[in-house]
Amino acid sequence: MVHWSAEEKQLIASIWGKVSVEECGAEALARLLIVYPWTQRFFSNFGNLSSPTAIIGNPKVRAHGKKVLTSFGEAVKNLDNIKGTYSKLSELHCEKLHVDPENFRLLGDILVIVLASHFGRDFTPACQFAWQKLVGVVAHALARKYH
């Protein structure tokens, strides 16, 4: 089980409390698809992903980004049992979606950059540490049931 200090929990909660899940989720997923275009391979049914503008405006990208970040919120709510929280999702990503777990790491880092752009100096180095730890734990949990 991952150990979270009181400070880490507080840093995570204080940022999460101010996050617009819809906006940040959409932005994070769009940036993933733009910065690492090979990740588009999982979204061939999303319609127009032909340019950054198309990706940013794509309603399916926005909706899916919101869905992904909403799910991330479950980790924030259950810091002491992230493994359990993502057990089924891990199986899904392996067996049905066939997503290379490296993509979870990529998205996690993109999320950190999006948070930095939204929170500026409030996203302190200590904050970044806590969030890098969180995205790492989430990525690990999502990869855990792979076989």
Partner 1 sequence: MVLSANDKTNVKAIFGKIGGHAEEYGAETLERMFAAYPQTKTYFPHFDMAKGSAQIKGHGKKVAAALVEAVNHIDDIAGALSKLSDLHAQKLRVDPVNFKLLGHCFLVVVASHNPAALTPEVHASLDKFLCAVGNVLTAKYR
**Cβ of residue 48: shortest distance to partner 1, in angstroms?**
15
* Largest separation between any pair of C-alpha atoms in the chain: 44
H-helix or E-strand containing 121? none
Q: How far is the CB of 145 from partner 1 (least distance, A)?
A: 26
Cα–Cα dist 142/36, whole Å: 20
Q: Which two tokens stand for residue 40?
A: 């588009």
Provide, rounded to whole angstroms, the least separation between the CB of residue 98 and partner 1. 24
Binding site for partner 1 (CB under 8 A): 30-31, 34-35, 52, 55-56, 109, 112-114, 116-121, 123, 125-126, 128-129, 132
- Closer residue to partner 1, CB minimum distance, 112 or 138: 112
Query: Shortest approach of partner 1 to residue 8 CB, angstroms?
Result: 12
Residue with tokens 């990740």: 39
Q: Closest CB to partner 1 among 65 and 85?
A: 65
Looking at the Cβ atoms of 98 and 121, the one nearer to partner 1 is 121
Euclidean distance between CA atoms 79 and 76, whole angstroms: 5
Q: Write down the residue that tokens 């400070």 correspond to.
A: 7
